[in-house]
């Protein structure tokens, strides 16, 4: 299967209600803003999003969240997104909190065809023993909790069995791409984009720059993982927290 160069609207047109979508980015760094905006306009609902976090209030995934489009979020933290916290505590959305490194490996394993793996992260906590809130009731009480996970000792240390994550679609953002769909990310904007790209059955990449070719040593995501490619048109790049000092 090759990579189709298309528009953002066309790239996400067939994402249905109830789809599971892996999204790259950390906060709003490395986030595919235009693909998320196109998905908002397209109208798909009842979505299960897998991402490090759910954007920030009013930006990126935060827009889908505010529009009531998300049913479940698998992430590593809620962050400073007040609307996300409100929806979780009000029982409006299901939450699957996963340690950050475990989340990255669950996505990578899904893309590599590995069904599950053992990790020491979370052993001896609610991550392994169960009891993490999955959904709250409208009155703020816990309505549903996680089940215990299988554990096993390796070299005298307990490990937790974690299942891989696969998604119907993946939305990622790259700094450069060629027409074969090979992607190069820039600095910390790489973050969750490579494992998210691997985990999607259909991966849609938004690139800042379309180039004739990439040095093979500079390819971070091979084009074999990318089915659709769009070129970003948005001129600005939002910054989550601007920190400055006097000269």
CA distance 28 to 239: 7
Q: What is the pLDDT of residue 1?
A: 53
C-alpha to C-alpha distances, 107 to 56, 98, 163, 244, nearest whole angstrom? 22, 12, 9, 35
Q: Count H helices, E strands: the chain?
A: 7, 14
CA dihedral 127, 67, 190, 210 (to 10 degrees): 150
Q: For residue 240, which of 47, 51, 61 has the smallest C-alpha distance? A: 61
Decide: helix, strand or coil at residue 197. Answer: helix
Structural tokens at position 96:
């699957």
Predicted local distance difference test score (pLDDT) of residue 120: 97
Q: What are phi and psi of 57, to 5 degrees?
A: -55, 120
Considering just the CA atoms, what is the radius of gyration of the chain in Å? 18
SS3 86: helix
Give the pTM.
0.93
Question: In degrees rounded to 5, what are phi and psi of residue 191?
Answer: 25, -115
218 within 8 A of 182, measured Cβ to Cβ: no
Please tell me the distance from the alpha carbon of residue 80 to that of residue 154, in angstroms, as a whole number: 37
Residue with token string 């889908």: 64
Contact 68, 40 (CB under 8 A): no
Amino acid 19: pLDDT: 98
Q: What span, in angstroms and rounded, lies between the C-alpha atoms of 39 and 164?
A: 25
All residue ranges of the chain with pLDDT < 50 are none
């Amino acid at each position: 299967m090759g990579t189709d160069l298309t528009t953002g609207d066309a790239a996400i047109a067939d994402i249905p209600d109830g789809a599971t979508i892996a999204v790259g980015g950390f906060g709003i760094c490395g986030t595919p803003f235009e693909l998320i905006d196109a998905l908002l306009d397209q109208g798909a609902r009842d979505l299960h999003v897998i991402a490090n976090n759910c954007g920030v209030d009013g930006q990126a995934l935060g827009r889908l969240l505010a529009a009531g489009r998300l049913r479940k979020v698998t992430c590593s933290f809620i962050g400073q997104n007040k609307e996300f916290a409100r929806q979780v505590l009000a029982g409006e959305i299901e939450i699957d909190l996963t340690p950050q490194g475990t989340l990255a490996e669950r996505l990578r394993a899904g893309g590599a065809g590995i069904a599950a793996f053992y990790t020491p992260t979370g052993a001896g906590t609610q991550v392994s023993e169960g009891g993490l809130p999955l959904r709250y009731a409208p009155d703020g009480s816990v309505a549903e909790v996680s089940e215990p996970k299988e554990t096993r000792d390796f070299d005298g240390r307990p490990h937790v069995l974690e299942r891989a994550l696969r998604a119907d679609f993946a939305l990622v953002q790259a700094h450069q791409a060629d027409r074969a769909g090979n992607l190069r990310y820039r600095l910390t904007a790489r973050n969750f984009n490579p494992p998210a790209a691997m985990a999607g059955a259909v991966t849609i990449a938004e690139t800042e720059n379309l180039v004739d070719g990439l040095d093979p040593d500079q390819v971070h995501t091979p084009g074999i993982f990318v089915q659709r490619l769009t070129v970003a048109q948005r001129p600005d790049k939002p910054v989550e927290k601007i920190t400055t000092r006097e000269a």
